[in-house]
Structure 1
């Protein structure tokens, strides 16, 4: 079975797409020993400095669980350890697991993780191969080469090595992401709301697609200044943000070019989008033509009638 996640076509994977990847990896890659690896592009490895140290750190470990933080994937690594045997009560030694650090992955723009048979020909743009028991491989494929991998030693917390984690705001579905928190982030900011929603320091994982969708459902124009939003508007934006993220997770994300879930199913949210990628088409609510404008180097899609 091939686990394939491809992101391209100008879009960047956001929380729902990365969450879909995480769930697929947890279904397929857990508790299987990493027996070795190969790095085909050295700069893909963000830590350690030496590729040999990266591969040595992963060797003979197994993935206990994949986690997601914002748009980062973090694999919790463990290693078998022989339990101490008491001389007073001689019994067969049992195996336990000990922490063995973490494997961090950021897909950036075009990263793929492929879970494949080792006999499958190596795909073009393959950057890293990890060899698992049972003749399986986890391959990192990245056409644009912006993606990164980290090995975090067991005596470090991931945030100490993957420094981008330090700047992330709360997760959207966490207790820390409350309406009051959201309002406090906006009420004194003199910047457009669309730009603020893309700030990972305010909320982790939200990006261009779902910011556009949440603003549409809230009836807020993307150029509206944060400081002009009322508490009720922010409350509505908070709920619509959670709604569009959950809807997309349920639909296995958005297909940018050739996105497949672990079962080989396309991400389905794109066909349900209200405004994202629909410039020139009619609004699903009022029939007004959807427009697009550039804001801080990113596209903003909106309905001029429904959002004002």
Structure 2
């Protein structure tokens, strides 16, 4: 599943190619992709003739704000956090890529993939295609002046953004107190921190020297401070690399992310640690895999 760096990469690409472009129409090829409204006609009517004022990211969600082409009343040039926004005055669009979703900016002459689910048409015969092999991805049409989180209800459950002031050492310390679940499981909880998944949780824990099975309540103040700093840095590094492509992730131009080639532990079970040469191990925690170096992340107990 695309995580924060991949979704951020897509967001930035979409702002480059589609911002201020007017949507001229669309086509829905798989109806169950629509989470709201469920009517294909209502979905297409909601965006036809609207321009893209800008794209935002909240956790793993992508959100497009619309504006009227003759009177754009939205400006995201300062790139505010989406959490600062409650409504879109001209409506908008939300997308969750789930496991295999891709948003690709292509020519309308490009042959359709059999996994194409939704098409949005733009000037100069360009289009934005939502391609999704496993069909778990969803799209929401957001009506004007309606609270966004009432339409995209998953937004209500998200914790703070990793780059926000709210995501502080003090916040993590409070959240970890008395928690007996593993730190790896905690980092995957979107209520704790938005956007982090398997890849960057593994990478963060390696760079922090913390075994993934460590209970949250056992973390020392120094470990929590290190964890906070490393998580922010890992995500920034991955964004700079254009994200990670393990199976399906592509940016809007159809290009793979480059972070996987420099990953410390993720998806490297059996391979030598890049620091100490000890083979990387893999285990299951709450049904999810965790990759770690048994030497670099050795418990102090």
Displacement of 1:188 in angstroms is 1.4
Structure 2 equivalent of residue 91 of structure 1: none
Structure 2 equivalent of residue 230 of structure 1: 220
1:281 aligned onto 2:280: no
1:102 aligned residue (67, 89, 92): 92
1:303 aligned onto 2:278: no
Structure 2 equivalent of residue 6 of structure 1: none
Structure 2 equivalent of residue 134 of structure 1: 124
Distance 1:261 1:129 in 2: 16
Q: Which ranges in structure 2 are unaligned for 5 or more consecutive residues?
A: 74-88
Distance 2:9 2:108 in 1: 23
Q: After alignment, is 249-258 or 203-212 more displaced?
A: 249-258
Q: Is the 8 A contact 2:50 2:67 kept in 1?
A: yes
Q: Which ranges in structure 1 are unaligned for 5 or more consecutive residues?
A: 1-11, 81-94
Structure 2 equivalent of residue 257 of structure 1: 247
Distance 1:97 1:246 in 2: 31
Displacement of 1:265 in angstroms is 4.8
Displacement of 1:113 in angstroms is 0.8
- TM-score where L is the length of structure 1: 0.89
1:47 aligned onto 2:36: yes
1:171 aligned onto 2:158: no
Distance 2:29 2:262 in 1: 38
Sort the Cα spacing of 1:48 and 1:262 in 2 relative to 1 into closer, same or farther, 3 A: closer
SS state of the match for residue 68, structure 2? strand
1:22 aligned residue (11, 23, 27): 11
Distance 2:263 2:166 in 1: 27
SS state of the match for residue 96, structure 1? coil
Distance 2:119 2:140 in 1: 14
Distance 1:46 1:258 in 2: 22
Displacement of 1:266 in angstroms is 3.3
SS state of the match for residue 276, structure 2? coil
Larger-Rg structure:
1
Displacement of 1:261 in angstroms is 4.0
Alignment of 1:260-271 (within 5 A): 260-261=250-251, 265-271=255-261
Structure 1 equivalent of residue 46 of structure 2: 57
Displacement of 1:145 in angstroms is 0.2
SS state of the match for residue 185, structure 2? helix
CA RMSD of aligned residues (A): 1.3
Structure 2 equivalent of residue 154 of structure 1: 144
Displacement of 1:122 in angstroms is 1.2
Displacement of 1:298 in angstroms is 1.1
Distance 1:104 1:264 in 2: 20
Displacement of 1:155 in angstroms is 1.8
1:69 aligned onto 2:58: yes
Displacement of 1:160 in angstroms is 1.2
Distance 1:263 1:53 in 2: 29
- TM-score where L is the length of structure 2: 0.91
Structure 2 equivalent of residue 37 of structure 1: 26
Structure 2 equivalent of residue 9 of structure 1: none
Distance 1:207 1:246 in 2: 15
Distance 1:258 1:230 in 2: 37
Sort the Cα spacing of 1:233 and 1:207 in 2 relative to 1 into closer, same or farther, 3 A: same
Displacement of 1:14 in angstroms is 0.3
